[in-house]
Each structure stands twice: as C-alpha cells, then as structure tokens.
Amino acid sequence: MDRIAVLIPCYNEVRTVAKVISDFRRTLPQAVVYVYDNNSTDGTDLAAREAGAVVRYEYRQGKGQVIRSMFRDIEAECYIIADGDDTYPAECARQMANIILNEKADMVIGDRLSATYFQENSRPFHSVGNTLVKRSINFLFHTDISDILTGYRAFSYEFVKTFPVLSKGFEIETEMTIHALDKNLGIENVVVPYRDRPAGSESKLNTYSDGIKVLRTVVRLYKNCRPFQFFGFLGGLMFLLGAVLIAPVFIEYLRTSLVPRIPTLIVSGFLTLGALLSIFCGVILDVLAQQNRQDFELRLNEFHEIRRMKHHKTNHEN
C-alpha cells in the first residue's frame, strides 16, 4: 500500500503533464504519481512516463470512468487527485495530505473560488456555473461548501473504497461532494491559488452540455439522498395547485348548491390524490435512504478494521 498516491486523469495534456508530475514529485517525494491516460492522441502517456509517473490506461471515455478505475486499482493511505492541465499548485498538496493522514477528514477540498479563480478563469460562464452549483447544493443540503466542482482533492482510504462511482463525466466532482454530505463524512477546506490554462492548452469541459449534466446530477442525487424533502415539495405544489383550482368551485357550491365546472373538480381531485401519493412515496423512500446510511456505516466500520489490520501487518513485517 502506498503512503500517498497522486492521481492524475489525463486526456490530451501533453503540453502540461510533465510539469504537473515533476511539481508533485518535488513537493511529495514519498508519493507515487499515477497518470491514467483516457484515449489521448497527442503523446500524453509518453510524456508522463518520461517524467517518472506510473502510466495506466482507461479506454472508456470520461473523467468519471477514469476515477472509477483509479479508485478500484490503487491502494493508498492518502489519495490526492489533480488535473493534468497545470491549473492547481502542487505546493498545497502537503497540507491536504497531512489533514488526511492525521485522520482529521475523509475528503479535503482544494478551494479555488475563495482564491484567484474568478480573476484567472477566462471563461465567464464557467464562473457562473460554479457559483450556481455551489449555491444550489449548499441550499438543498443545508451546508456551506466553498467549492463544489474543484478537481483538486484529497481522500482517505475509507472514502475511496466505499464511494460508488456512478457518473461517467465531469459531474463526478458533484457526486463526490454530495456523497460526503449524505454519509456524514468529514470534509475540510484548503484554499488553493488557481491559474488559468497555459496558451495552447484547451479545456475538455463543455460549458453548456456538461453544465446541464452537473445540474441534472444535483437533482438526481437530491432525490436519492433526501427523498422526503424532494417528493414532499412536489406533493405540496400539487396540493396547492389543487386547492387553487377547487376554491372557486367550492365557493360556487356553497352559494348555489351547484357544481357547474365538473372538469375543474376532477382535475383538482387528481392533483390532491397525486399530492398524497407523492408524500407517501417520500416517506417510504426516506426510510430506505436511512437504511442505506446505516448499511454504509457498517461497511465503513469493516474498512476501518481492514486498514487497522494492514497497518498491524506492515508494522509486524518491519
């Protein structure tokens, strides 16, 4: 098992990957640097190998696919993940790693938004998207995470080995954050300077299509993690709309003992029925979500025991 593993997912980053690797090797000389090449066509894998990284390949396209393979393959006490585009300073990795190794958190977020991101980022809609996603998640989950979409993070062994990667693309960062919030895992924040990509290096993130995927992921995970709030809100909307529709019909009935608008009465009845069904679905799914959290805690205890035994075995061999 590695003490520290630096994970760098790459797709056509030949201009910057060698510098990123050398920076991390200088900052964390005891770490093993892994580069997972995701179908690059510009020689990224050759440049990474020459710079001293362990190069592996993931042929399913997408950042989420790469991280899934990384987390399955690599055993380490601390994992640091960073992009290969030289936008994150390796100098912050030591502080992030120490938080994990000292067991102060399960995930450390490299917070760009509290530093230089809005000054350095050359794509204004990226800034709008980051702010929108951050505020949405903080509002829905009643938290105060400083940077949701950062690609610079550190993780504990328990987080990596119990995190079910479902996303295929750039929505993976959102999934990581909500997983930690839902499972009550420790989260720490480290402010990191951000620098824009160097000339000739192009972002693989599509502002609009990937932004829509991220927002869809927020809604999907909110539904899965907070089903009572989600379905209760839908039920409340349907009940309110049904009440608005039935009010004039009911008033007319009280005045004349007649119901002249039968279709409105029927629609209102169906809306009320739908509201009740939605609320009951939320109650049932909330019980299942709670059971899922309990099962996760049991799995987490098992991984703590596995890690303790590995430490004991390593110390005994030494």
Task: At 26, list the tokens.
Answer: 């200088």
More confident: 176 or 309 = 176
Instruction: Of 50-54, 106-110, 121-125, 130-134, give the lowest mean pLDDT range.
Output: 121-125
Q: What is the pLDDT of residues 149-164, one digit of tens each?
A: 999 999 999 999 989 9
Beta-strand ranges (E) seen in the chain are 2-10, 32-37, 54-57, 76-81, 107-111, 153-156, 187-191
The Cα–Cα gap between 204 and 200 comes to 13
Average pLDDT, the chain: 89
Q: Is 86 helix (H, G, I), strand (E, B) or coil?
A: coil
Considering the entire predicted model, what is its pTM? 0.85
Q: What is the pLDDT of residues 239-255, one digit of tens each?
A: 999 999 999 888 888 88
pLDDT above 90 (res 260): no
Nearest to 11 by CA among 56, 46, 41: 41
pLDDT above 70 (res 125): no
Share of the chain above pLDDT 70, in %: 93
Mean pLDDT of 283-301: 90
Measure Cα distances from 138 to 143, 145, 229, 232, 312 in Å: 5, 6, 15, 19, 40
For domain 2-225, give the fold: Spore Coat Polysaccharide Biosynthesis Protein SpsA; Chain A (3.90.550)
Instruction: Of 33-47, 103-117, 222-236, give the lowest mean pLDDT range.
Output: 103-117
Contact 50, 23 (CB under 8 A): no
Name, in order, each residue with C-beta under 8 angstroms of 172's C-beta and a sequence gap of 6 or more. 63, 64, 67, 165
Q: What is the pLDDT of residues 127-147, one digit of tens each?
A: 787 888 899 999 999 999 989
pLDDT above 70 (res 213): yes
pLDDT band at 318 (very low <50, low <70, confident <90, very high): low
* Number of neighbours of residue 162 by Cβ within 10 angstroms: 18
The domain segmentation of the chain, as residue ranges, is 2-225, 227-317
More confident: 203 or 308 = 308
Nearest to 19 by CA among 87, 82, 86, 92: 86
Contact 230, 289 (CB under 8 A): no
54-57 vs 32-37, strand pairing mode: parallel
Mean pLDDT of 1-16: 93
